Amino acid sequence: MKALSLRQPWANLIANGLKTIETRKWKTNYRGDLVICSSKNPNIFPAGYAICIVEVYDCIPMIKEHEEKACIKIYPNAWSWFIRNVRLINPMFPVKGKLSFFEVNVPKESIREFKK
């Protein structure tokens, strides 16, 4: 499954359903499930683990109105990746992150539905 590493606190904000727009300086045509991994830097729990799966369903240039759902101020050349359908990974498993997309195997028994 495709995966993406995020720094903290943004990875946890996505896993908790509080951040529904991820921003990048590059656009993606990819739509579908994406594993969110917490990068090892900074070393904030759960650094270095796959923590949830989300669905990427749209990607457009970032506008000011996206700031609240992205949990970040607009910046030059930013793209808003719209995400939904958060599924927690439990138990979490260690992942060596990479830049851009990379592949990971997620055991089906580790996927839990998000509960608000």
Per the confidence metrics, is the pTM higher than 0.95? no
Domain of residue 68, residue span:
2-113
| Phi and psi torsions of 2, nearest 5° | -65, 145
Specify which residues 61 forms β-bridges with: 79
Greatest alpha-carbon pair distance for the chain in Å reads 40
Each residue of 56-109: pLDDT tens digit?
A: 999 999 999 999 999 999 999 999 999 999 999 999 999 998 889 999 998 877
Written as six digits, the tokens of 20 are: 């529904």
β-pairing, 79-94 with 111-113?
A: antiparallel
Q: How many domains does the chain have?
A: 1
Written as six digits, the tokens of 10 are: 């943004």
* Residue 93's CATH number: 2.30.130.30
Q: Which has more confidence, 55 or 116?
A: 55
